[in-house]
């Protein structure tokens, strides 16, 4: 069966509701292993992420000659494990207990913390790098700027971050690619770029197709705290 034929999307209000965020969290808690197999560890996805995101971010970090990284929305630990194998000290944060359990079973080293990036503060001035590849798609737009400030405050001066956004105007989508339902927000590319530029220096922009043929694209911003 063609994957795109079983994906259903529905445009909702312009911002995520608390109920939608809670439903998404529940889905990740119950479907973490399914997510790992269907999404994070699919060979074609692993290959694309490594080429487009991991290697460029690794090169940014290498220029800084610093080693401690935070992974916000660390999921099942795939990308965090890649950097651990490169010799970096890594902390993983996620709001899903199910995802953290899966990550602990997959990642041999690293520290993991239960944390909601949109409502709880990260440690201040701790990290040379922050990797936030998809978690921002599950933050309500009204909380997005405060979340970006939270990330900025956790970086040391000159620290770098990878910030990933879903882009396709400003709307909320329902996603049924897993056994449970997820909701994510897609933002306007120019608007979110301007928002990020208020708090970071944008060194590079990357727009790529979604791996599941969703009607959205990914905008990945490689940024620096100055």
pLDDT tens digits for 27-69? 999 999 999 999 898 899 899 999 999 999 999 988 666 679 9
Provide the domain count of the chain: 1
Give the integer Cα–Cα distance in Å for 215 and 7: 10
Judged by average pLDDT, the poorest of 94-103, 149-158, 166-175 is 166-175
Q: Is the pTM of this model over 0.85?
A: yes
Tell me, what's the pLDDT at 135? 96
Q: Do residues 131 and 88 touch, judged by C-beta distance below 8 A? A: no
Q: What is the CATH number of the domain that holds 176?
A: 3.40.50.150
Range of the domain at 188: 3-224
Residue 128 corresponds to which tokens in the numbers above? Answer: 């040379």
Give the integer Cα–Cα distance in Å for 177 and 188: 23
pLDDT tens digits for 148-169? 999 999 999 999 999 999 998 7
Which residue from 108, 82, 112, 109 is spatially nearest to 95, judged by alpha carbons? 112
């Amino acid at each position: 069966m063609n994957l795109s034929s079983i994906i259903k999307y529905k445009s909702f209000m312009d911002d995520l509701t608390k109920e939608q965020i809670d439903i998404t969290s529940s889905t990740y808690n119950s479907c973490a292993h399914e997510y790992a197999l269907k999404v994070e560890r699919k060979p074609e996805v692993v290959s694309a992420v490594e080429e487009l995101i991991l290697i460029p971010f690794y090169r940014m970090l290498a220029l800084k000659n610093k080693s401690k990284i935070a992974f916000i929305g660390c999921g099942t630990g795939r990308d965090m494990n890649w950097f651990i194998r490169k010799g970096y000290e890594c902390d993983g944060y996620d709001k899903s207990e199910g995802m953290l359990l899966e990550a602990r079973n997959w990642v041999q080293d690293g520290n993991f913390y239960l944390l909601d990036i949109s409502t709880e503060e990260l440690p201040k001035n701790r990290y040379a790098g922050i990797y936030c590849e998809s978690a921002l798609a599950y933050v309500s737009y009204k909380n997005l700027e405060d979340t970006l400030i939270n990330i900025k405050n956790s970086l040391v001066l000159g620290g770098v971050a990878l910030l990933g956004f879903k882009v396709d105007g400003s709307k909320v989508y329902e996603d049924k690619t897993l056994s449970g339902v997820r909701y994510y927000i897609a933002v306007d590319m120019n608007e979110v770029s301007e928002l990020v530029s208020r708090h970071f220096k944008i060194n590079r922009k990357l727009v790529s197709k979604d791996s599941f043929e969703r009607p959205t694209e990914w905008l990945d911003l490689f940024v620096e705290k100055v």
